[in-house]
Every structure is written in C-alpha cells, then in structure tokens.
Structure 1
Amino acid sequence: MKKNGGNQISKNGVLNIKAKSHRSQSRNKEDALNRMVQLFKQSAQKPIQRKKTRPPKRVNENRLLNKKKQSQKKQLRKSPGPDD
C-alpha cells in the first residue's frame, strides 16, 4: 500500500487524498472516494513476475566477435615498439 500511495501516505501511516477538481464539495468527496477505491484495488493486485529468459547464443557470439574486432583496431593504432 505504501508503494502505491506515494506522497498520499504520511509518516504516521494516514492516507490523505485531496480533491479540488470540481466546484461542489459533494463531487469532490465522490472523486476522492473513487481515487481511494482505485488505490486499494491497485495495491491488492500482485505485480506480474517477469519470467527469466536467456539471451540466444548467437547474440553472445556476435558481441564477443565485435569486441575482438574493436580490440584489433586499437592494437593496430598503437605505434610499434623499439624492438619491432
């Protein structure tokens, strides 16, 4: 509940919902009540767990191949040492 409430829940654990969008008090109360019900419904639902997936082997092979190519490029940029 605290995660979904955000700033609407005080340090004491009191839920504070303000509604000022309508001109009449009754409509504002109704709006605040609807938002409170939505907040309760939202916090009652469990978040869907993400299924762990492995990246395909080909993706990893391509990444390593690109790393080797980049490494070779940088090796070619180096000036030859005094021995060569």
Structure 2
Amino acid sequence: MERPEGWYVTFLEPDLKTPLPKKFIFQDSAKILELAARGGADKTLADKQALQYAIQTGRGSVWLHLTSAQLVKLNPLHR
C-alpha cells in the first residue's frame, strides 16, 4: 500500500514522552512492516492485524524490542 504523503514514524524513549532524534517518512507500507518485524513487533496474528489496521487508518503505534545496536542507530547518545 502506498500513500502519497507517506507515514511519519517517530520513536520514543522508554518513558514514552521523550522523542528520539531519528524520524522516518515511509512512502510504502512494506517498509513499516519490515521495521516492525526487525523490532519484534509482529509476533502474533493479532499484532500483525493491529499493525495492518494502523497502516490503513494512518495512525497507530507498536512496541519494538530493540537491541542496543538498533537503539544506538536511532540515538547515538545511547552508547
């Protein structure tokens, strides 16, 4: 699914208030699905369905389980 204006993706610190500096705008929903898979957010059928619904409606959130290396890529200050 493509969306001309794209999907704006941000990341939050564990406090769920502080945004991480890295942000993305994805034009293709396949990239969002790939990001969720890499972050371990699509483990169950319900997780996958919730993500598909969020993509279709243009808003939502997922919990990613990031490794230390992945977190450093989003915020170099986490070294």
Normalised to the residue count of structure 1, the TM-score between the two structures is 0.28
Please state which structure has a larger fraction of its residues in strand. 2
- Give 1 or 2 for the bigger CA radius of gyration: 1
Please state which structure has a larger fraction of its residues in helix. 1
Q: Larger relative CO (CA 8 A, sep 6+): 1 or 2?
A: 2
Normalised to the residue count of structure 2, the TM-score between the two structures is 0.29
